Copies of this chain bind each other. A is one copy, B any other.
Amino acid sequence: MSFDRDAGGRRIARRGGGGLVTALSGLLAHHDVTWIASAITDEDRLVAVERGSEPIEEQTREGSSYRLRLLAHDPLAFDRFYNGVANGAFWFLQHYLWGLAEEPVVGPDFRVGWSDGYTPVNRNFADAVVEELGREPGSAVCFHDYHLYLAPAFVRERRPDARLTHFIHIPWAQPDYWHALPGDIRRAVHEGLCANDVVGFHTERWRRNFVQSCEAITECRTETAVYPIAIDAGEFEALRESAAVLEEERKIAETRPELLVVRVDRTDPSKNIVRGFRAFGLLLERHPELHRRVGMLALLDPSRQDVPVYAAYRAAIERAAAEVNEQFGDGTWRPVDLHVADNFPQSVASYKQFDVLFVNPIFDGMNLVAKEAPLVNERGGVVVLSENAGAHEQLGAWTLTVNPFDIEGQADALYEGLTMAPAERKRRNAAISAFVREHDIEAWTDAQLADLDRLTSTILS
């Protein structure tokens, strides 16, 4: 949720996308919620200043009411918090993306980012939570993700009886890799999280890693649980028939080859897009009989393009796609159809049209595309899925499993998916769809709140 001005200078609210919004949609439907969030746009900051600590009454697309409280941090502190520490360090660490010979360099700049960015912004959140708990004592407090590792401890100091739960949307790295940050910082992260009554993860693998890194790094312990995030199946089943999606689908259907491999991702190094194109090139090298019959549609949402590593990764993506097209394509056939744009209706349209969905992240907390796309697919499409995507823990029995570093294995899996017998394709696709429909987003929220109720009432009794 963010505010902006329209061309006429009127304030308008924009609703965002992504995992956090999915997570919230389950919560907002049936609970009385105050959402505390950072002011991002200039207009957000104006709203935050106008309102002070008074939340704004808002409504979801589905009509549920909630209160939104925007925090206007110091802009430099926010940049250090968001770009420097959260996305610049924790994102890379927790996806094992650093080349440790060169990165990270923890010097004076990083220390300032920690002391004058990540820490005060977390303290702002904690202050707001404490204030809200003054208004609504006993409320459950739900922290989300790698931006707020310190806030729970700051709240706990001042409200020992607060009821705190934290959900981590990304992988948890094993303790050796946490040693890429100095002892005081890695301890503060684990101690901050252990101030929660319970910490939740998408998979047993990430949960176990967290328990292990707590043991290796700090004396603190807390309850942990696995809550694999779900999607709002009804939303995608409605979207499937929306005018915007049908229009995008018409365009894809007009130009698609007989066999279509689809990938939908942000242009993030963790998504492994370059190796994906190399694997597709290897498929074409080994299977000339597929030339002109198969194509890869890559729909990539440009991500963090003001960060040099991300700009370089986008350039590498474009080079890798061009290499495949130069090696195998000609005037009438372009094997890789690359779109770097934010076009959600086009993504949903591609979900309907794939024969093989290619999801090969290096590491990924869950990966929602692997759940969304099979649900709306209409061709009995096969999912090729990385063993390092959280979704693999739930869906692996019905997907073709690949190692994300193994481009030969990925080429083989693409081939297997493209040539699989129709009955087997349909069986697997139906199994994933049924699973995704059965596990809905409201159950995901309710499980977390039920655990928090159980754990905090035990402590109080």
Contact = CB atoms under 8 A, between A and B. Distances in A.
A107 interface: yes
A362 B96 CA distance: 15
A406 B182 contact: yes
Interface centre among A179, A282, A313 (most CB of B within 10 A): A179
Interface residues of A, number: 45
Interface in A80-110: 95-108
A177 B179 contact: no
A107 B408 contact: yes
Interface in A3-60: none
A175 B176 contact: no
A362 B183 contact: no
Interface string A386-423: 01100000000000000101111100000000000000
Interface string A157-183: 000000000000000011111011111
B111 A182 contact: no
Number of copies: 2
A182 B405 contact: yes
B105 A275 contact: yes
A209 interface: yes
A403 B282 CA distance: 41
A278 B105 contact: yes
Contacts of A209: 176
A62 B177 CA distance: 43
Contacts of A181: 403, 405-406
A380 interface: no
Contact of A179 (B269, B387, B408): B387
B99 A407 contact: no
Nearest to A205: B176
A275 B272 CA distance: 28
Contacts of A179: 387-388, 403, 405
Contact of A99 (B98, B174, B408): B98
A107 B278 contact: yes
A174 B212 CA distance: 11
A406 B101 CA distance: 13
Interface string A278-309: 10001000000000000000000000000000
A114 to B, nearest CB: 11
A40 to B, nearest CB: 27
Contacts of A388: 176, 179
Contact of A101 (B100, B107, B183, B313): B313
A105 B316 CA distance: 15
Interface in A102-128: 102-108, 111
Contact of A97 (B99, B183, B272, B274): B99
A17 to B, nearest CB: 24
A403 B362 contact: no
A128 B69 CA distance: 73
A275 B107 CA distance: 10
Contacts of A363: 100, 176
Nearest to A177: B96
B97 A100 contact: yes
A108 B175 CA distance: 33
A334 to B, nearest CB: 23
A408 B108 contact: yes
A265 to B, nearest CB: 13
The 9 lowest CB-CB distance pairs between A and B, nearest first, are A99-B99, A101-B269, A174-B174, A106-B406, A182-B406, A182-B403, A107-B407, A106-B405, A174-B176
25 contacts: A96-B100, A96-B176, A97-B99, A99-B99, A99-B102, A102-B274, A106-B405, A106-B406, A107-B282, A108-B408, A173-B176, A174-B175, A174-B176, A174-B177, A176-B177, A177-B177, A179-B387, A180-B405, A181-B403, A181-B405, A181-B406, A182-B403, A182-B405, A182-B406, A182-B409
